[in-house]
Amino acid sequence: MSYVNGATHHDSPPVEFPPEVSAHNGAQAVPVPSERLTKIRELLNEPFDPAEIKWRVTATSTQQTKRGPQKRGQLVAYADQRAYTDRLNDVFGEWGWTRNYDVQVAQNFERRAPGDKKQTAVSAKVVVVSKVTINGLGSHTGVGEEWADDENAATRAEAQAFKRACACFGLGRYLYDLDKTWVDLDQYNRPIQTPNLPEWALPGYAQREAQRQARHDQRTGGPRQGVVRDELLAKVRELREKVGHSLSQFVLHKFAGGTEPEKIGHAKLTIVFEKLSDICNGIDRLRSAAAAIGEAQYAAICRDLNFASDSIDDIPDRDALRLLLTRVEAAAKTPESANGVGTQAASIAKARGQLLQVARKMADRTGKRLADVIADASGGKLALDELKNLTDADAPVVLAALSRIG
């Protein structure tokens, strides 16, 4: 099965070919002047904008650290095929090049079974050959393949084949020369930090900006070498210890694009300091509220939120901290003793009233029946029509249900 897939977008004027180069002369392509070829080669070999570069995890491992096991992943850089299409459009125009695909399905390949690596299975492969033709210059082909049991097999194989054909013209070829790098992964196997590209893998304008910044820092003694930066780094390290591993990694990744404060610029480091300070305030509030409700009830709330443990290090991000703080502070406002169990004469009446109040709000918000909300929150231990018969001895169950609804 074969078909032609053209292109539809360009942001800058294409290279102007002389009339005799714009089309083939019979079966022969008219030679292109050497200076024109040099210019085309420069445009095709120019690295993509760093924003176009993505990173794929190709291998994983687990290392033991002082905070416990840490999963790491090997990253490989790549660019989406749209980046290749846009570059060809920019250089040659939409009508200056074409691409053809030939798709075949090859049968009877033996492979390890996806669900059980100890077993083997016979499967098919989708094999795609892409031919990229540039008017007046010639053609190159590339081959891509994917296992047929992947629902996106054809799309992946086509992209792979197209990019490999483009690499024969020099477009994106530099990506094969980038070193593989290992970084920490989060709980979803996503990279916690984005690797920095070497200067040679940046487009010309980005290289010039990096060189300009380096000269500026060297001339002015920039913030990287100043006492102010050293003091800021010390404060950031102190805050990281207070907020725990996961939250500090979350802040560095989200607001600085890395995991090592020493390697980020002064402006981003200042933002990191501010965000860590805010989270540290939340941690202080959390510790106070947790002390008020007791270790047992605090641990129960952490389990209910599916945290790995009740350790500060296992709070994954800012949203999780906000949710945990809300739940723990709500529980701390209910009548309780040092171990979190109500002991005052009126505690069960007040706790029952609070449970009904928050359960009604939850029922209105979710559309569930009030009785179902109470039953779910208590794990089936409480029933709506039996709340009036509860005594102070039932206060722990009511408080636990209240904390789960939040």
pLDDT value of residue 333:
78
SS3 14: coil
Condensed to tens digits (0 to 9), the pLDDT of residues 331-347 reads 887 654 333 333 333 46
In terms of Cα–Cα distance, which of 291, 398, 397, 386 is closest to 353? 398
- What letter represents residue 157's amino acid? A
Condensed to tens digits (0 to 9), the pLDDT of residues 115-126 reads 666 777 788 999
pLDDT bin (cut points 50, 70, 90) of residue 5 is very low
Sign of the torsion angle spanned by Cα atoms 313, 263, 178, 35: positive
- Structural contact between residues 196 and 179, judged by C-beta atoms closer than 8 angstroms: no
What domains are defined for the chain? Answer: 2-204 (3.30.390.80), 298-405 (no CATH)
pLDDT value of residue 78:
94
Q: What percent of the chain has pLDDT over 70?
A: 82
pLDDT at 15 over 70: no
The whole model's pTM is what? 0.49
* 112-117: average pLDDT: 65
In terms of Cα–Cα distance, which of 375, 387, 293 is closest to 301? 293
* 61-85: average pLDDT: 88
What are the distances in angstroms from CA 58 to CA 73, 146, 190?
7, 15, 11
Report the range out of 219-223, 257-261, 270-274 with the highest average pLDDT: 270-274
pLDDT at 20 over 60: no
pLDDT value of residue 146:
92
Condensed to tens digits (0 to 9), the pLDDT of residues 164-215 reads 999 999 999 999 999 888 888 888 888 887 888 888 888 887 667 666 666 6
Condensed to tens digits (0 to 9), the pLDDT of residues 282-291 reads 888 888 888 8
Q: Report the alpha-carbon distance of residue 383 to residue 342 in Å, rounded.
A: 20
pLDDT bin (cut points 50, 70, 90) of residue 274 is confident
377-398 burial code (b ≥16 CB/10 A, e <16)? bbeeebeeeebeebebebbbbb
Q: Mean pLDDT in the chain? A: 80
pLDDT bin (cut points 50, 70, 90) of residue 132 is very high
In DSSP terms, 101 is beta-bridged to: 3, 130
pLDDT at 247 over 80: yes
* 18-40: average pLDDT: 61
Q: Which residue has the higher pLDDT, 307 or 22?
A: 307
Q: Which residue has the higher pLDDT, 403 or 253?
A: 253
pLDDT value of residue 346:
43
Q: What percent of the chain has pLDDT over 90?
A: 21
pLDDT value of residue 334:
62
Strand order of the β-sheet with 97-113 is 2-4, 97-113, 116-134, 138-147
pLDDT value of residue 218:
59
Tokens of 283: 């941690």
pLDDT bin (cut points 50, 70, 90) of residue 393 is confident
pLDDT value of residue 237:
85
